[in-house]
């Protein structure tokens, strides 16, 4: 993101890469929930509205990341990356992470706040997106730090997210924290 803040279209260009990256990484892990929304009679329009709400939540997170990165433009890349990955490792072990993971993994959680109509579906998608963002914020921070433009790293982190959100749940949290800590040490070394 270096230098993007100085360009008048910096945020637009950043979101132009952030949204597709988020969609490519996060939508596979939310397919079970999206399929449930579709199966329970939401129809194509409401299901599409749900996905739009989900992507809007991730877009908002991208705007926050863009703003937070601005003052860090002058920090050494390796130190910044190692610090971000270390923070991601610590975040894996927090209550907030566990709570968001639990809500994100439970498709039925979104139905407690069921709302009628397209706007209701957008709202439900946004709430689910925020839960998933809270679940994956550390992993996304580490990905940004290590190199979000690398398809290899994107694939590695996408696999980690799917493993945690869909396959193993909380059983993957501590091993992922350990892997992130090792990656932070490797980065600084």
**Residues 98-129: tens digit of each pLDDT:** 998 888 877 676 666 666 778 888 888 888 88
Q: How confident is the model at residue 42 (pLDDT cuts 50, 70, 90)?
A: low
Rounded to whole angstroms, how far apart are CA atoms 126 and 52?
Answer: 8
Packed helices 77-91 and 117-147: angle between N→C axes, nearest 10 degrees: 130
pLDDT tens by residue, 62-85 = 888 777 776 666 556 788 888 889
Could you tell me how far CA 58 lies from the centroid of its own chain? 7
The reported pLDDT for the residue numbered 177 is 93
Residues 109, 37 contacting (CB under 8 angstroms): no
Alpha-carbon separation of residue 142 from 150, 176, 177 (angstroms): 13, 11, 11
The reported pLDDT for the residue numbered 51 is 87
The reported pLDDT for the residue numbered 154 is 80
Q: Which of 87, 85, 111, 109 is nearest to 165 (CA)?
A: 109
User: How buried is residue 31: exposed, middle or buried, by Cβ count under 10 Å (0-12/13-18/19+)?
Assistant: exposed
Rounded to whole angstroms, how far apart are CA atoms 159 and 143?
Answer: 12
Residues 139, 161 contacting (CB under 8 angstroms): yes
Tokens standing for 48? 């599409």
Asked if pLDDT for residue 35 goes beyond 60, the answer is yes
The reported pLDDT for the residue numbered 16 is 77
Reported residue count of the chain is: 189
pLDDT tens by residue, 128-187 = 888 888 888 888 888 877 766 677 888 888 888 888 888 888 888 899 999 999 989 988
pTM for this prediction: 0.75
Q: How confident is the model at residue 22 (pLDDT cuts 50, 70, 90)?
A: confident
Residues 37, 50 contacting (CB under 8 angstroms): yes
Angle at 95 between CA 91 and CA 97, to 5 degrees: 50
CB within 8 A of 2, min separation 6: which ones? 73
pLDDT tens by residue, 43-65 = 777 888 888 898 899 888 888 87
Q: How confident is the model at residue 9 (pLDDT cuts 50, 70, 90)?
A: low
The reported pLDDT for the residue numbered 91 is 92
Q: Which position has the higher pLDDT, 93 or 39?
A: 93
Cβ-based neighbour number of residue 181 at 10 Å:
16
């Amino acid at each position: 993101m270096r230098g993007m803040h100085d360009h008048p279209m910096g945020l637009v260009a950043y979101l132009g890469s952030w949204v597709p990256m988020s969609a490519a990484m996060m939508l596979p892990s939310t397919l079970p929930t999206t399929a449930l929304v579709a199966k329970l009679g939401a129809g194509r329009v409401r299901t599409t509205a749900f996905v739009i709400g989900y992507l809007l939540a991730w877009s908002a997170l991208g705007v926050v990341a863009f703003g937070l990165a601005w003052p860090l433009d002058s920090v050494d890349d390796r130190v910044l990356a190692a610090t971000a990955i270390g923070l991601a490792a610590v975040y894996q072990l927090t209550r907030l992470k566990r709570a968001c993971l639990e809500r994100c993994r439970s498709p039925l959680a979104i139905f407690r706040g069921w709302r009628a109509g397209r706007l209701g579906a957008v709202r439900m998608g946004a709430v689910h997106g925020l839960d998933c963002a809270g679940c994956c914020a550390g992993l996304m921070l580490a990905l940004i730090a290590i190199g979000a433009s690398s398809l290899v790293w994107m694939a590695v982190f996408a696999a980690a997210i799917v493993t945690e959100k869909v396959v193993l749940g909380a059983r993957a949290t501590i091993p992922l924290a350990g892997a992130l800590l090792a990656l932070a040490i490797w980065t600084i070394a």
